[in-house]
Structure 1
């Protein structure tokens, strides 16, 4: 069975027009921002990383650190 390709029936301009109707930025789409992102590196001994991952549970590392920092700032 031979496959029919889009390019067999449309010229290059028509392909670009068809492809241009999908994807890209859309207002309101995507993950909502929590705040300003600043990259930070943290060095801990291996055992402390293991404990860190145990204590944070199902939360992401970012979420867990955000909670710890906000708790400290509010106290």
Structure 2
């Protein structure tokens, strides 16, 4: 489910790879993904869980993966 906190067109392939690394390789929660992204790319969302989920959904879709299946969840 998308919460409209992320414009998918604003997520670059490089950003998607970084988001995937945080979520899938480093086991970040959605909150942790949101905070890491906010710290790295500058966002007022901070550790907002909905923002983190939306980032993961946008990144997974850009990479041709299902954000609600392994390795994303």
Which category of TM-score, normalised to the shorter sequence, fits these structures? under 0.3
- Structure with bigger gyration radius: 1
Comparing both chains, which one has the higher relative contact order based on Cα–Cα distances under 8 Å and sequence gaps of 6 or more? 2
Q: TM-score, normalised by structure 1?
A: 0.24
